[in-house]
Amino acid sequence: MPDIMNTVGIWLGAFFTFAIFSFLYKDNPFYKLAEQIFVGLSAGYGLIYIIYAALMPNLFTKLATDFGGNLILLIPFALGIMMITRMVPKIQWLSRYPLSIVIGTSAAISLLRFLKSDLIAQVAATMINPFATKVPSEIVGNLMLIIGTICGVYFFYFSKKQEGIAKIPSKIGVYFLMVSFGATFGYTVMARISLLIGRLEFLLKDWLHIIK
């Protein structure tokens, strides 16, 4: 029986693959159906995942096994229920309390994380001796790293109008950003193409058994 169900699963996957690819011709009922099923399944998956990965281990299991010892967990539980009151217009103001805790906590977490990993760490990583190596390409690369970072940051400085001589570092920053966007674009293309190859491989190998 599992073999038959495996085949049914592959046919289901093939149907959904074709339904989505049919959009390349034009918007049609098959695509619309597959799109909505995708939204529904993703939402259902998200809900079940949150229940099993976050709510069960952190709340329900603890309350079920030792209710008396975990009475304090009733506070976040109540706050969680208050969050859902946002759906009821008359009492939606209640959701501000849990929301403020989430926002306050996540703002502090973001502040600390970005301060450490994205600001201090990145600035420190740029403070290098470009001539520490003997390899010419590495020296050029290190110089590019320093100049590109400084000019890039300068480009994002909007408090003063960049004109005259002050426009030069900004322009250099734009050049670095363009090279980076091009490289990112190239990487994105490669990632999408590899996904496409994966789907074609599924159709030709798993579904039709044309290739091995």
Partner 1 sequence: MKRNIPLILAFLAGLLMIVSEFIPHRPFSNMVETLEEWFMIIAGFSIVLGLASLLQMNYQKISTKAENWGYHLACVIAFAVMVIIGALWGMEDQPGLLGQGEKIISWLGKKPFDYTYDNALVPLSATMFSLLAFFIASAAYRAFIIRTFESNLLMISAVIVILGRTGFGTMLTSWIPENYRFWQLPVLADFIMQYPNTAAQRAILISASLGIIGSSLRIILGIERSYLGGDK
Closest separation between CB of residue 14 and partner 1, Å? 8
Q: Residue 162: which residues within 8 A CB-CB, separation 6 or more?
A: 170
Among 28, 69, 181, 205, binds partner 1 (CB under 8 A): 181
What CA–CA distances, in Å, run from 204 to 4, 22, 200, 208, 212?
19, 17, 6, 5, 9
Nearer to partner 1 by Cβ, of 44 and 211: the residue is 44
Site string for partner 1, 96-125 (x = CB under 8 A): xxxxxxxxxxxxxxxxx-xx--xx--xx-x
When the beta carbons of 175 and 211 are compared against partner 1, the nearer one is 175
- Minimum Å gap between C-beta 74 and partner 1 is 11
Number of H-type helices and E-type strands within the chain:
8, 0
Number of Cα atoms under 13 Å in the Cβ half of residue 68: 0
**Nearest-angstrom CA–CA distance, 20 and 14:** 10
Residue ranges in 33-92 that form contacts with partner 1 under rule CB under 8 A? 33-52, 54-56, 58-59, 72-73, 75-77, 79-81, 83-84, 86-87, 92
- The answer to the question of residue 139 lying near partner 1 (CB under 8 A) is no
3-state helix, strand, coil in the chain (%, to 5): 85, 0, 15
**Total binding residues toward partner 1, as defined by CB under 8 A:** 123
Least gap, CB of 154 to partner 1 (angstroms): 8
Question: CB 211 → partner 1: shortest distance, Å?
Answer: 18
Q: Which of residues 148-177 bind partner 1 (CB under 8 A)?
A: 148-153, 155-156, 173-177
Q: Are 92 and 85 in contact (CB under 8 A)?
A: yes
Does position 126 bind partner 1 by CB under 8 A? yes
Q: Phi and psi for 179 in degrees, rounded to 5? A: -60, -40
Residues 11-30 that bind partner 1 (CB under 8 A): 12-14, 16-17, 20-21, 23-24
